[in-house]
Amino acid sequence: MAKLIPAAERIIRARAFIQQARDLPIPADTEGGRNSFSYIAGVKDYLRQARDMVKFISQTAGVSAEMKEEVKKVYQEAEQADEEILR
């Protein structure tokens, strides 16, 4: 059976995924660079994993208001990273 990950650890891991998306190297080839499908897919995958990591925290019973606010910040960080990296 899968081990449950505490909410605080999920937020830390989500932020790590966002950072991995930012750190993903831009392909140096002349066929696309930043517009390369594999690069875009890699960035989108890391950001999806970040969102999935915190998706259900705010719906869990017993979660504090501060934790719910952190979840909102993670979503905002993921959206901001998406715009900064791919646009």
pLDDT in tens, 34-83: 888 999 999 999 999 999 999 999 998 889 999 999 999 999 999 999 99
Long-range contacts of 40-48 (CB under 8 A, 24+ apart): 40/86, 43/82, 43/85, 43/86, 44/82, 46/17, 46/18, 46/20, 46/21, 47/17, 47/18, 47/21, 47/78, 47/81, 47/82
What does pTM read for this prediction?
A: 0.91
Average pLDDT for 16-44:
88
User: Is 8's pLDDT higher than 70?
Assistant: yes
